[in-house]
């Protein structure tokens, strides 16, 4: 295995990715879009991050990587590290698992509300043992995302204000493909391409299709799947798919492919919003790039039916259960909040990891983590079940850090709360992934094994809902975590904490 090292200096620069107006974006080393990180499984990744934004703190999260033994490199501020204030630096240093972490990931800021300002890019882990490696000739990486003309800070202020009692989320102004609206992908006839797709958006799920070409799904969120054909994929924010696409045998025509934002998510659809972004498979530069055909019906592939290539069987005995009832409400004071079990997440004063490391045997007592972190302590090597009941008429994409989970059940919309005595049969080899959609007023049931000591967030990946508190904290095997990290806050954390003035000791409430 090798080492992949990057020196990243984050600063504001100007960009105009949808051709409407220049706006500030978060670039790296004076460039935007920021670089894709490419590694091979088993590699060490080192990112020397310097914050030159001048006005905002930052951090990076490597979405989907399990970070075994490296929870302190996972990135969320107030959870596994202090914020990295302007002028300060932090080094991320971890290895990508050798056995079980090939595929398509991404990295993004995990400071509140920040990645939609541009601090987001794919992270690809190559695998010389891929079961699909003989099935394709070349790779293509595509990112899809919604795009706002305004900066996140003013949008967040408006979204969270008492002037927005319905909690209506800001609607994107447009959407981007590889951070542009003018993407041509050169292809050759008679070849097969592995197309890796990531939704890096803040809010909008995307319907994705390639005109007159079939997608064969071979990976979701880093998990290889039995090859499965799909004409259209529904990709929530933070989800990834790899698909095989075989090109035509002639280069007579070029073909459009489309990402179409799911407008059901928007409370109101502004006049003139174009929900689509179009790219082209270009067989021949001399030919026209046709406009996509108008679609009447959206009938995406159901990811719940996917089967993982390793055919891992369902965990049929559950040791520990977490039930999360989620809702959104303005509590009649005008401001909109999001809740798990009636609690809106508020980040603790001392990052949760430091509390776990510094409290000895008390680390298994949930009380020390504060009253507003929706904390759950997991014992080691248990089969854990998360039941999530969506008591809200919206769609929500939920993400768990540190694990992929089996999706053992997903109800239709309006099914209400999960009833263990009344549901369709569970699949025997459920799909695994790290981000899953729960339908409006529906429910999902997820299972995983607690084999990765660490502090892992579970949250809705819609960035507006992160800001309104739709977050739980999983405190997994805290005593093993203490021995893994020698019961000490890792030394490279202390400088950022000192620069930020964040306490690293005391209980979670900062007392």
Chosen residue from 23, 50, 61, 410 binding ligand C2O by CB under 6 A: 61
Distance separating alpha carbons of residues 149 and 24, to the nearest angstrom = 9
Counting residues that bind ligand C2O (by CB under 6 A) gives: 11
**Residue 396 lies near ligand C2O (rule: CB under 6 A):** no
- Phi, then psi, of 322 in degrees rounded to 5: -120, 125
Question: What is the per-residue burial (b if ≥16 Cβ within 10 Å, else e) of 402-415?
Answer: bbbbbbbbbbeeeb
**Residue 132 lies near ligand C2O (rule: CB under 6 A):** no
Chosen residue from 10, 34, 156, 238 binding ligand C2O by CB under 6 A: 238
**Residue 433 lies near ligand C2O (rule: CB under 6 A):** no
Chosen residue from 84, 194, 445, 457 binding ligand C2O by CB under 6 A: 457
Residue 511: alpha-carbon gap to chain centroid: 33
Q: Bridge partners of 138?
A: 193
Task: Please choose, out of 93-101, 163-171, 242-250, 454-462, the segment that lies near ligand C2O by the rule CB under 6 A.
Answer: 454-462
Write down the least CB distance from residue 29 to ligand C2O, Å: 22
Chosen residue from 63, 72, 112, 132 binding ligand C2O by CB under 6 A: 63
Distance separating alpha carbons of residues 347 and 366, to the nearest angstrom = 15
Task: Please choose, out of 212-220, 281-289, 301-309, 453-461, the segment that lies near ligand C2O by the rule CB under 6 A.
Answer: 453-461
Q: Do 75 and 81 form a contact (C-beta atoms < 8 A)?
A: yes
Helix (H, G, I), strand (E, B) or coil at 355: helix
The residue number with the shortest CB distance to ligand C2O is 63
Q: Give the x/- contact pattern for ligand C2O in 69-108, rule: CB under 6 A.
A: -------x-------------------------------x
- Phi, then psi, of 143 in degrees rounded to 5: -110, 140
Distances (CA, A) of 379 to 165, 384, 428, 451: 40, 9, 25, 9
**Residue 403 lies near ligand C2O (rule: CB under 6 A):** no
**Residue 481 lies near ligand C2O (rule: CB under 6 A):** no
Write down the least CB distance from residue 401 to ligand C2O, Å: 6
Beta strands in 330-442 (DSSP E): 337-340, 375-378, 383-390, 396-400, 405-410, 432-433, 435-438
Name residue, tokens 């882990």: 125
Chosen residue from 410, 447, 459, 465 binding ligand C2O by CB under 6 A: 459
Chosen residue from 72, 181, 401, 410 binding ligand C2O by CB under 6 A: 401
Task: Please choose, out of 170-178, 404-412, 455-463, 494-502, the segment that lies near ligand C2O by the rule CB under 6 A.
Answer: 455-463
Write down the least CB distance from residue 511 to ligand C2O, Å: 27
Q: Do 25 and 12 form a contact (C-beta atoms < 8 A)?
A: yes
Distance separating alpha carbons of residues 58 and 75, to the nearest angstrom = 9
Distance separating alpha carbons of residues 208 and 321, to the nearest angstrom = 35
**Residue 120 lies near ligand C2O (rule: CB under 6 A):** no
Write down the least CB distance from residue 48 to ligand C2O, Å: 21
Q: Which is nearer to ligand C2O, 217 or 455 (CB)?
A: 455
Chosen residue from 396, 399, 403, 410 binding ligand C2O by CB under 6 A: 399
Distance separating alpha carbons of residues 42 and 150, to the nearest angstrom = 39
Binding residues vs ligand C2O (CB under 6 A): 61, 63, 76, 108, 110, 238, 399, 401, 457, 459, 461
């Amino acid at each position: 295995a090798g080492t992949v090292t990057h020196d990243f200096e984050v600063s504001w620069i100007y960009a105009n990715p949808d051709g409407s107006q220049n706006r500030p974006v978060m670039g790296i080393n004076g460039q935007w879009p920021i670089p894709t990180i490419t590694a091979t499984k088993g590699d060490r990744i080192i990112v020397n991050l310097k914050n030159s934004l001048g006005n905002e703190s930052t951090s990076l999260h490597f979405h989907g990587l399990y970070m075994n033994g490296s929870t302190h490199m996972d990135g969320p501020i107030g959870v596994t590290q202090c914020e990295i204030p302007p002028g300060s630096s932090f080094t991320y240093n971890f290895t990508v698992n050798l056995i079980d972490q090939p595929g398509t990931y991404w990295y993004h800021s995990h400071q509140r509300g920040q990645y939609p300002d541009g601090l987001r890019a794919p992270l690809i882990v190559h695998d010389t043992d891929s079961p699909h490696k003989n099935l394709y000739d070349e790779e293509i990486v595509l990112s899809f995302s919604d795009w706002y003309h305004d900066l996140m800070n003013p949008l967040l202020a408006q979204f969270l204000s008492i002037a927005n009692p319905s909690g209506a989320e800001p609607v994107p102004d447009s959407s981007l493909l590889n951070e542009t609206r003018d993407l041509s992908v050169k292809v050759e006839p008679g070849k097969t391409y592995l197309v890796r797709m990531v939704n890096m958006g803040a809010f909008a799920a995307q319907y994705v299709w390639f005109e007159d070409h079939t997608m064969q799904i071979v990976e979701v969120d880093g998990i290889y799947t039995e090859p499965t054909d799909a004409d259209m994929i529904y990709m929530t924010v933070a989800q990834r798919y790899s698909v095989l696409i075989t090109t035509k045998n002639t280069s007579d025509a070029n073909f459009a492919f489309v990402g179409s934002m799911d407008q059901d998510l928007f409370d109101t659809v502004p006049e003139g919003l174009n929900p689509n972004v179009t790219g082209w498979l270009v067989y021949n530069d001399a030919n026209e790039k046709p406009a996509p055909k108008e679609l009447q019906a959206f009938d995406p592939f159901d990811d719940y039916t996917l089967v993982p290539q390793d055919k891992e069987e369902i965990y049929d005995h559950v040791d520990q259960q977490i039930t999360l009832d989620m809702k959104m409400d303005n509590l009649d004071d005008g401001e909109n909040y999001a809740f798990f079990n009636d609690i809106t997440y508020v980040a603790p004063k001392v990052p949760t990891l430091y509390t776990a490391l510094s409290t000895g045997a008390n680390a298994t007592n949930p009380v020390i983590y504060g009253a507003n972190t929706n904390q759950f302590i997991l014992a080691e090597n248990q089969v854990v079940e998360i039941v999530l009941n969506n008591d809200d008429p919206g769609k929500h994409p939920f993400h768990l850090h540190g694990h992929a989970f089996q999706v053992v059940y997903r109800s239709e919309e309006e099914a209400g709360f999960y009833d263990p005595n009344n549901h369709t049969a569970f699949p025997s080899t459920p799909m695994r992934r790290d981000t899953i959609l729960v339908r409006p007023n529906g429910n999902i049931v997820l299972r995983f094994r607690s084999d990765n000591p660490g502090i892992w967030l579970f949250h809705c990946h819609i960035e507006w809902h992160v800001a309104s508190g739709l977050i739980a904290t999983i405190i997994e095997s805290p005593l093993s975590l203490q021995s893994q990290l020698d019961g000490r806050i890792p030394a490279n954390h202390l400088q950022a904490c000192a620069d930020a003035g964040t306490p690293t000791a005391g209980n979670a409430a900062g007392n």
